[in-house]
Structure 1
Amino acid sequence: MSQHLDNEKNNRKNPQVGDDTSPTSRRLFKGIRFSKNRGSRPGGVLFTFAALTGLLMAIPVFYVVWRSLFAGTDRWMRLLDTRIPQLIWNTMSLTFMVTLFAVSIGVLLAWIVNRTSLPGRKMWQWLLALPLVIPPYVGAVAYIIVFGPRGWLWREWRENEWLLNVFGEYPINVYSFWGIFIVLTLFTYPYVFLIASASLRKMNRNYEEVARSQGMTTSQIFWKVNIPFLRPAIGAGAILIALYVLSDFGAIAMMRYTTFTAAIYYQMGSYDNVSATVLSVVLIVLTLVILWIESRTKKKQSYYQTSNTFKEPDILSLGKWKWPALIFVSTIFFISVILPVIVLVYWSILGLEAGALDSRFWGYAWNSVKVSGMAALICMILALPVVYLRSRYPSKASAIIEKMSYAGYALPGVIVALGIIFIFNQYIPMLYNTFYLVAIAFVIRFLPQAMQSTDASLSLISPRIDEAARSLGQPPWKVMIKVIIPSILPGILAGGALVFVSSIKELPATLLLRPPGFDTLAVRIWVETSEAIYHMAAPAALLIVIVSIIPLRYLLKKY
């Protein structure tokens, strides 16, 4: 009886309501401290599932780094002396220029659309976000068709004697640094435009009124008041753009410019996997450097505004600048949306007349839907335990699991594919050369998209709901399934939609991992464009653009 009373006393001091922790799981928890204000540990099932998810997401990246350590000093030195310096210059100069100009265009457009009397400003708020639905490699195809050698403009130039006499030979070379710079800038500026627009709409008018009372002009207010408050938004957009440029392969390869991603792909094509791992490690280091710089600058950005005196910002009259502003906005929209769409529609019509939409085309479409749908479903299943653990049971362990789950998102698809090839070729050969590897690569690449959407929905659910369910004797994993999932299902589905569309557009991982004869829409765009068969590539590109409108609606609601 006394022993029973002692046990009861210990239970009151250390409640473990609904704890499903087995002896094995308890050993996993040894040394892990969870937040005291949650009242209990997450349970073995939930923690183990989340931990395995984080580990699986990070294994390919860790394995690539591990393999590079055995490349040998000679190979490292040869690459450091020959290829790596030029690749660093090509990659970082392109990343810097695209980020600088995309940020400048995005901030300027956001300010014009949200803070001035631009005609049709409400319409422009979503029209200027449309470049996000056009993958840069699809935009590159359109620009090659219009401005490339033997393209539309080239033919007009050759047939116009006056242009030939005055300006000489055709002056535009799309296969250059400036060609890929323009393409990536035009199709990445919406990252900054959306985030900066959200910040501008929430900016308190009081600060501008104080600045005007001190005699500041509109331009001075923009630089001294608006820009400081926009720095967090600018930083967030800039890091997204920089990481995208570092990871892009399709547009860069189509426009024949060589960065690390293209070099890694070509090394894999020549079966020099070891050199590919060396180049991958250098690219991983560059990515970590950019993330470190962003984290350091973020710590210095301490700009706050109170909501108790919030006033909506004024809409400034453009006056004589109305038409120049409208021309600027319309020009950006035309060259980033209208021109590519016109090209795709024109060649898609030719493709329809030539019978492009045959059984093979729909087979490619089904392959895309199959692997993308599989990846979306897996991401929705894996994202919730990781997010739930981090939100409801915060600790160093849950934070590490979450960061490990983000490992594949910050790195190019080429590196993720390289790690998967090494692992499955050596340790799980039964799945090698199957389309399941493509789906696994999509999961590693885009799981954080599902996590972000799920986390946004979970943050709106009070932890008291969890505690009430736990008080009825339910373990954490059952609470998550029976209570949390029904409450946040729309957010989970939105994350799955984002993963689905991102997977359909993913090119490098699909190219490296697809089994023989398994082509997707993205792969066919690559193959047909490489052979200049544009009427066969255009329908697939147009279909991807149409499907990509799905996440745009989510982003516009979010920002």
Structure 2
Amino acid sequence: MSVSDPVSRRIKRRSRGDVQTLVLALLAGSVAVAVLTPLLWVLNSARSVPLDRFFDILFRRTTLDIFLNTVVLVVAVTALSVLIGVPLAVLTAQTDLPFRRLFTVLAALPLVVPSYIGAFAFVSAFGPRGELADALAPLGVEQIPSIYGLVGSVIVLTLFTYPYVFLTTRASLLSIDGRTVEAARTLNHTRLGAFRRVTLPQLKPGIAAGALLVALYTLSDFGTPAIMQFDVFTRIIYVRTTARQVDFASIFSILLVVLTVVILLAESRIERGGETSAYVNRGTDRPGVVRLGRWRWVATLFPLAVASLALALPPAILFTWLGRSTPELAGAAVDFRWEFTWNSVTASALAAGASVLAALPLAYLSARGDGRLSSLPERASYVGYAVPGVVVGFGLLSVALNATPFLYGSLAVLVFAYVVRFLPQAVGTTRSSILQVDPQLLEAARTLGKPPLVAFRKVVLPLVMPGIVAGAALVFLTSMKELAATLLLRPFGFETLVTYIWQVQEAAAYGQAAVPALVLIGISALSMLVILGRERYDVKE
């Protein structure tokens, strides 16, 4: 064998790797372009608005007020979600908190409750004519503080979105190498000092990923602000769109995209700031348990209080709705059928599978690519998450009618809308898992002659599978709860849980909304248990 043979093989392997990297980049770029398709409707609509009309709408005082309301809501919900999610993650992952496994499940389960159902529950409980007001009336209390507006919106959205921060932070905690923490302790650092100097820098990417999802969810939600009567961009876009005021809807949608870009840039700076101190876990032991001592049982009050507001209150209100007599629906609408449940599950499962396939090239290219351009397709995919579902729905309706009429009214368009909206959830969890895998493992497989794709399938894929499953479950959860896009894009005669709930809610037939709402929460809870069931509770006791 000549000396040139090994060199020739290395050159061939490098050539194959370059070609496959190019194919990966093209595939990721194609996915990013596809999910940005609905924005073409927004840009085209805005372009058709006369310039004087555009600036008249843009610089109105009401536009400024809506802009400030939106920013304040996003900042407040994100900050409170971090203040709730991070302590809960630390308590359940690194302390001897009693019933740690139970509180882990309870802390994650609020994610299964649609925020608009939570908003209805809070209004029913704490509104001017709610359960609390009725209970206090015999005591001489004639008026209670209003739940409507900014305060109610922040409370509801925080309670049902903080699990994003909790799950991503807890995943990072479970991946930390315990040797670094113990090394800090040997240098006479206290537990708090070791956490601040060693653990917290490694948690920044996980916290930032969860905070990003919270911020983008808050930015795109219209159900909760609508119920709480708080004017933000999403509520106004929905109102203007249903009133066929396309100029207002398109301009406000562009402003939402601008806010999305700002949030993505802020998250990117935080993540880059944590990269220098990030450490790849190589399978070593996790840190020991922090003993809470006499505060052990007192610490349970925090997760109990959060669980009571987020998990106990909504079902309790729903069960009270079951006992109320409600008027018949206008137009003799169909009664609830279990077929609606199957339709919801089918569409959401298809969206979860499609999102995972689309997320793999985006996440891998972003985590392992060279240069800032490698993360561009991943960043572009987050834009669709912030665009309101009603805008995505109208955008895809326009595409289906004008470019692909054979897909109009099909399930494929609805599934694609879910992928556009929730792909970042699969990308975020998959990318976090890929970053935790030592790159040397893949290089070792390639030195043994394995092509990059084979090495990825045999070495990397099994290690990142928990992140992939978590991402698929998150997409399934949020697809089950998506309202606006489902209303606009569902096939003819294709009724789902959320569309039926919205119909009966609009008719104020709360009793008829209780059963499908409880079913929706129950199915979503089962999918969340799948995520939590994959965790290994190997914390040292």
* Partner-residue secondary structure (3-state), 1:313: coil
1:417 to 390, 393, 397: 393
Q: Which residue of 1 is the match for residue 307 of structure 2?
A: 333
**In terms of mean alpha carbon deviation, does 276-285 or 251-260 score higher?**
251-260
What 5-or-longer segments of structure 1 have no aligned partner? 1-8, 18-35
Q: How many residues align?
A: 517
Distance verdict in 2 for CA 1:303–1:275, change over 3 Å: same
Q: CA deviation at 1:288?
A: 0.7
Deviation, structure 1 residue 369: 3.1
Which residue type is aligned with residue 174 of structure 1?
Answer: I
Q: Provide, for residues 203-233 of structure 1, a one-character-per-residue CA deviation record: whole Å limited to 9, x for no partner.
A: 644366357x46x6x7677666665554444
Which one of 283, 297, 303 corresponds to residue 256 of structure 2? 283
> Please, which of 90, 93, 105 is the counterpart of residue 72 of structure 2?
93
Aligned to 1:315: 290
Amino acid at match of 2:65: Q
Given that residues 82 and 207 in structure 2 are in contact (C-alpha distance below 8 angstroms), is that contact kept between their aligned partners in structure 1? yes
Give percent identity, aligned residues only.
35
Of 38, 51, 56, the match for 1:60: 38
Q: Give the Cα–Cα distance (whole angstroms) in 2 for the partners of residues 506 and 547 of structure 1.
A: 14
> Cα gap change, 1:345/1:16 in structure 2, threshold over 3 Å: closer, same or farther?
farther
The farther-off stretch of 340-349 and 460-469 is: 460-469
Residue type of the alignment partner of 1:344: L
How far residue 178 of structure 1 moved from its aligned partner, in angstroms, is 1.0
TM-superposition CA deviations, 1:298-348 (whole Å, max 9, x none):
3223335697996723423342x4454333332121111122222234435
Q: Matches of residues 54-453 of structure 1 in structure 2 within 5 Å?
A: 54-79=32-57, 80-158=59-137, 160=138, 163-164=139-140, 167=141, 169-201=142-174, 202=176, 204-206=180-182, 209=185, 213=188, 227-228=200-201, 230-301=203-274, 302-304=276-278, 312-319=287-294, 321-348=295-322, 360-383=336-359, 400-451=376-427
User: How many angstroms apart in 2 are the aligned matches of 1:467 and 1:89?
Assistant: 55
Segment drifting more, 37-46 vs 371-380: 37-46
Structure 1 counterpart of 2:303, one-letter code: V
The amino acid of 2:80's aligned partner reads F
From 514, 517, 525, the counterpart of 1:538: 514
SS of equivalent to 2:263:
helix
What is the RMSD of the two structures over their aligned residues, measured on CA atoms? 4.3
Once the two structures are TM-superposed, the CA of residue 281 in structure 1 deviates from its matched residue by 0.6
Counterpart Cα distance in 1 of 2:325 and 2:125: 17
User: Is the 1:351–1:538 contact (alpha carbons within 8 Å) kept by the matching residues of 2?
Assistant: no
On the 8 A contact 1:378/1:443 being kept in 2, the answer is yes
Distance change in 2, residues 1:230/1:513 (3 Å): same
Q: Distance in 2 between matches of 1:305 and 1:52?
A: 32
Residue 36 of structure 2: SS of its match in structure 1? helix
- Whole-Å Cα distance in 2 between the matches of residues 486 and 108 of structure 1? 31
SS of 1:257's equivalent in the other structure is coil
- Structure 1 range deviating more: 513-522 or 39-48: 39-48
Rounded to whole Å, the distance in 1 between the matches of 2:301 and 2:415 is 44
Residue identity matched to 1:303: S
User: What is the aligned partner in structure 1 of residue 539 from structure 2?
Assistant: none
Tell whether the 8 Å contact from 1:207 to 1:225 is kept in structure 2 after alignment: no
Q: Give the TM-score of the pair, scaled to structure 2.
A: 0.79
Partner SS, residue 170 of structure 1: coil
Unaligned runs of 5+ in 2: 537-541
Q: How far apart, CA to CA, are the structure 1 residues paired with 2:205 and 2:368?
A: 27
C-alpha displacement of 1:155: 2.2
Q: Which moved more, 1:524-533 or 1:246-255?
A: 524-533
Query: Aligned AA for 1:70?
Result: S
TM-score, normalised on structure 1? Answer: 0.77
Q: Between Structure 1 and Structure 2, whose CA radius of gyration is higher?
A: 1
2:184–2:198 Cα contact (<8 Å) kept: yes
Amino acid aligned to 1:58: L
